[in-house]
Structure 1
Amino acid sequence: MRILLAVEPADFRRQIDGLARMCRAELDSDPMSGAVFVFRNRRATAIKLLCFDGQGFWLCHKRLSSGKFRWWPKRPGEKRIRLEVHEIQMLLWNGDPTQAQAQPAWRPLATVG
């Protein structure tokens, strides 16, 4: 599974169409590729996940009840970074994905199509 995280914050007034345009224009990625795209708002209090499943788009939104997300990459010049599944799980629970320890993938998954 490809998980692509947008390094720069997104305007959270954008919904599916606006985030899909952002995938194409700013992340140089096809929003209909089946990848999961992860966005953060400017205040670091919410994240959105966008994914196309072959029939339509999914848009998931998590807003913290209090506080801010502790971790977000600061990589000048990079538009996006790739996360592994265990790293996105850590991020969704407001953890630091760089501190997650997991076995390396035995065999990478291939996308079909």
Structure 2
Amino acid sequence: MTDDTESILWLAVEDYSGLWEAVWELRANHADMDSEVLLGRAKDELIRLVGHDLIQLYRCLEPYGDMTDVEKQEAVDLLRMDANWNEPEPGSVSIRFGATPAGRAAAGVPEL
């Protein structure tokens, strides 16, 4: 597992994180990297993690309100949309991600 994958997976284990937070996390790993490159890298990592059933996407009414599951077949399309990676305004709907049981296991976290 790469450092980027581990960083994003830990975000998913710790809480339901917004897509924009994945970019922030990667910036900590790659301080000199261009923002567009970081965004592309974050998209690729999350698409891979969804594909391996390590994370689940959710729609969230901001700020941090009701959340609903996103179907896996829709997840990749949502991850590819640049607008979903912007930090949301209160009252808007954002896309967040959280670890699945398999994701928690891959991160070495025991099941609750």
When the two structures are superposed, what TM-score results if normalisation uses the length of structure 2? Answer: 0.30
Higher RCO (C-alpha 8 Å, min separation 6): 2
Structure showing greater radius of gyration is 1
Identify, as 1 or 2, the structure richer in helix. 2
When the two structures are superposed, what TM-score results if normalisation uses the length of structure 1? Answer: 0.30
